[in-house]
A = this chain, B = another copy of it.
Amino acid sequence: MPRKKEIEEKLNVVNAETGDIIRIVRNNEQHEGVLMPHHEFSDDDIITIKLKTGYNIGIAVDKKTEIILIQKQHTTEKPIKKIPFDQKKPTISIIGTGGTIACYVDYRTGAVHPASSEELAFSVPEIFNLCNVKSQVAYQMLSENIEVSHWQTLAERITQELNSGAAGVVIPHGTDTLGYTAAALSFLLKNLSGPVVLVGAQRSSDRPSSDAAQNLIAAASVAATSDIGEVVVVMHGEISDTFSTIHRGTKVRKFHTSRRDAFQTINDIPLGKVENNTITLRAPYRKKTKGPVTTDILMEEDAAILYFYPGMKPEDIPKKKGIVLAGTGLGHVSTKLLSRIRTLIKDGTAIVMTSQCLFGRTNMRVYSSGRDLIKAGVLCGEDMLPETAYVKLMWVLAHAKTKKEVESLMMTNIAGEIAERTKNNTFIRPYY
């Protein structure tokens, strides 16, 4: 939200502008630093300053707070930027969607603001050594607010870009639901003529520890030069800036709230990595086609993920067209829920079982409780992540004509979401 009028006035009185050094005095505390632009994610009573340490702090300003101008910024002429074009290089398309990665820092002023895709590219000029850049903004959102309609918009824009000759597409995206979007696009897009690369940042680019630049360069490099015909996620491979990992869109999830290597491939090995601008691909992947890309964006939105817990009651399972259960172990829920599940399935709900273990594969044939679920018509989610099973189910329900087809599509590997065999070397290595 925009800054309060009173606060804007306080700044005007002392002629403090973005980029100037100011001191904020409140009660017995005082802080000095570069005045940063107010960005949409901040509250209306906050002034953000960049400390000498490189970190930004937001300070709540009230009537008693005093603002002192310490030094005007050294004004430098803002050069007029023109996107370079080199016809020998491939052209990628960057489609902005918002998120931390789009909190762009201007190299000269240190100012942070939501960046256009163009600014994003300019913030990492190394990209222009690799490729030409076309850019557009689809929307500017915190990714927890992204919904089905946003996936659909993206699918259409990506199709348009690839069919207009883009070598690949890069989609900067908030990390919170980046995994969901990657999985959704994997089902919405067909016959990809180039890589579709989702990329995010765990630390905004105004922080010294930001992962934005490395992730963007690596993503651009995969989009411009690889022959991948899949939706992938490119993010830090380790906590340090050593390399970025290329994850398959249907097998990746955000697995840590804050680490730079938060994104991890589950139940498979990652497709590859990018290290010093060199792409190494290790796992089998779908190669890009000659096109054209097609998309059929229909999805059934009356669906849910339900996480089972001891004490869950039959009425805790709502009536929906599609439900993904995150059951326990091999794919179980309490026997008390069985009758409700039977009724829902009889009434037309498609129910898919995944495991809250996340790692491994559901197998409902081992114990009687699982076999009862199979008899009731619950579909086995194999080794799919609950999130991937959810977006797949929404897509399948909108495309299958019969119940049988729903079943058969859910159990067919369409976009790498079901590994034929779960590899042994894809689990956490324990710390003892």
Question: Which size bracket describes the interface of A in this complex?
Answer: 35 or more
A336 on the B face (CB < 8 A): yes
Residues of B within 8 A of A359 (CB): 255-257, 259, 262
**Residues 145-160 of A contacting B (Cβ, < 8 Å):** 145-148
* A-B contacts besides A428-B429, A429-B429, 18 pairs, CB < 8 Å: A1-B368, A41-B367, A142-B369, A144-B329, A144-B334, A146-B310, A175-B329, A254-B328, A254-B329, A255-B359, A256-B357, A257-B357, A259-B427, A261-B427, A265-B431, A304-B309, A304-B316, A305-B307
Write the chain B residue with the least CB distance to A431. B269
A208 on the B face (CB < 8 A): no
Write the chain B residue with the least CB distance to A320. B316
Task: Among B262, B270, B330, B358, point to the contact of A360 (Cβ < 8 A).
Answer: B262
**Chain A facing B: main interface SS:** loop
Task: Give Cα distance in the complex from A264 to B360, angstroms.
Answer: 14
Query: Do B363 and A310 touch across chains, with their CB atoms under 8 A apart?
Result: no
A97 on the B face (CB < 8 A): no
A71 on the B face (CB < 8 A): no
Residues of B within 8 A of A316 (CB): 304, 318
Query: Do A311 and B307 touch across chains, with their CB atoms under 8 A apart?
Result: no
Q: How far is the CB of A13 from chain B (nearest CB, A)?
A: 27
**Given the contacts A147-B334, A238-B430, A255 and B307 also touching, CB distance less than 8 Å:** no
Residues of B within 8 A of A180 (CB): 309-310
Query: Do A264 and B428 touch across chains, with their CB atoms under 8 A apart?
Result: yes
Task: Give Cα distance in the complex from A125 to B426, angstroms.
Answer: 35
**Residues 207-265 of A contacting B (Cβ, < 8 Å):** 237-239, 243, 245, 253-259, 261-262, 264-265
Write the chain B residue with the least CB distance to A327. B144
Task: Give Cα distance in the complex from A270 to B361, angstroms.
Answer: 25
Q: Please indicate which of the listed interface residues A1, A43, A357 has the most CB atoms of chain B within 10 Å of its own CB.
A: A357
